[in-house]
Amino acid sequence: MKRREFLQTATAATAAFTILKSKSAFGYQANSAVRMALLGCGNRGTHVATSFSQNTEAQVVAVADLFRDQLGAAKSHFDKLNATLGRAPIDPKLTFSGPKAFEQLAEAPGVDMIQISTPPFFHVEHLGAAVSAGKHVYCEKPIGIDVKQAKHALSIAERVHSNQSVDVGFQCRNAPPIAGIAEKIKAGALGKIASVTGYYYAPASKEKNGAPGDEYRLRNWLWDRALSGDILVEQNIHIIDLCNWILGTHPVKAMATGGRGVLTHLGDCWDNYQVQFTYPDGIRLSFASKQFGDYSMFEAGLRFFGSEGAASIPYAGPVEIVGSQPWSWTESMNSAAATGKFAANGAFGDNLAFADREKERAFIDSIVSGPVHNQIAAGVETAMSCMMGRMAGLRGHEVTWEHLEAHGETYKLGMDLQQFG
């Protein structure tokens, strides 16, 4: 299958749906602009909101961030972007900073949708405020950094209105090559699946300037377990999510090792994990990751092994099935894993080149034409899968799903955000 064929099929399906339902029950005309706000104006947040602006009818009309410098940079960026797209600049009245910015944004008139790209510790709190205010929400992963937050997120899911759409940022599912091979695997192309291997080998995150203490922690939240959830929950989660999605279930237990063997900077996140997840029917996922080193090596992906074939699903390199039902994504066959480049803002190329775009278009379509999405529970399921692996590593013994739910770790922020008021 080629990307062109995949996109033609998807476009035809979307067009047919639009003809049947050109006007939704939510007050939007088909192809009308969705007024969106960015909450969390860092590297990833700015990239995603920019992609929304360029690839959909969504228009950034508001921005919010804890820090004034990031807020100012975001407003300048989107004012310039809006000008190139023939859109108005952001009204200064729709710019919010400080610890209450998320509440002010949630209550702001003239905003239809909020993109949450704040540090993961705050995702669930910010999600709750946006949902309660009746906004559509695009929330970056993870949905919670501990079990307490995950359970709170599930209660928020029950409050989502029938005309609200809530998506979680697992854009890898929407990458055309990955969507194509996942369909084949789910249809039984590999026979009985017995084992899976997964990997995520990334460089260290770069240091960001900030006053010593709490500000430094917040600006370098990727290094802080309470703020990020650790590398397994914040970064590696994409690979675990793809495995859960393709298998149609979550792991029931995990054993893990790892540690902080190379990194010496401030923070307490591990720089490597080796996790053995067990899924129903005895399927095992052997997962390994690292986040250190400034050398260029970057690889991430999955390999599935079944009775009738094997499948390779890398971020870069051939996406293919070998065995009794061979299949390949044609445009990936001449690329190598070594060509993959790490993108701190998530703007990956190769097999993920269109992942963000397709994810964003599907979300905006759900708002404009329906049916609406509510992906909170699925986001929690994957987040808790990663939490189970993290707990197994930190505690040095096997952890089951039931044990995680009953005795899950809880993390405290350990600072007063009012100092940034």
pLDDT tens sequence across 96-154: 999 999 999 999 999 999 999 999 999 999 999 999 999 999 999 999 999 999 999 99
**Strand locations in 151-271 (E):** 166-168, 193-202, 253-259
Whose CA is closest to 78, among 54, 98, 112, 105?
54
Q: Which residues contact 316 (CB under 8 A, 6 or more apart)?
A: 299, 335, 336, 337, 338, 339, 340, 341, 349, 350, 351
- Helix, strand and coil in the chain, % to nearest 5: 45, 20, 35
Q: From the options 3.30.360.10, 3.40.190.10, 3.30.2290.10, 1.10.10.10, give the CATH code of 176-350+377-407.
A: 3.30.360.10
Q: Which residues of the chain have pLDDT under 70?
A: 1-32, 296, 337-340, 343, 345-347
Q: What is the rounded distance in angstroms from the CA atom of residue 199 to the CA atom of residue 300?
A: 5
Residue spans of the domains in the chain: they are 17-172, 176-350+377-407
Instruction: Please say whether the beta carbons of 229 and 145 come within 8 A.
Output: yes
Whose CA is closest to 411, among 225, 270, 230?
225
Instruction: Please say whether the beta carbons of 73 and 99 come within 8 A.
Output: no
Q: Which residues contact 297 (CB under 8 A, 6 or more apart)?
A: 201, 203
Helix (H, G, I), strand (E, B) or coil at 77: helix
Helix (H, G, I), strand (E, B) or coil at 231: helix
For residue 361, the surrounding DSSP H or E stretch is helix 355-368
Whose CA is closest to 366, among 34, 49, 50, 133?
34
Domain 17-172 fold is Rossmann fold (3.40.50)
For residue 319, what pLDDT is reported? 97
Q: Which residues contact 104 (CB under 8 A, 6 or more apart)?
A: 64, 96
Q: What is the rounded distance in angstroms from the CA atom of residue 390 to the CA atom of residue 409?
A: 10
Q: Which two tokens stand for residue 43?
A: 């590297």
Q: Which residues contact 372 (CB under 8 A, 6 or more apart)?
A: 26, 162, 163, 164, 165, 366
Instruction: Please say whether the beta carbons of 298 and 203 come within 8 A.
Output: yes
The CB-based long-range contact list for 400-403 (8 Å cut-off, 24+ gap) reads 400/252, 400/253, 401/250, 401/251, 401/252, 401/253
Q: What is the rounded distance in angstroms from the CA atom of residue 171 to the CA atom of residue 321?
A: 22
**Backbone dihedral region for residue 336 (phi beyond 0: left; psi -120 to 50: alpha; all else: beta):** beta
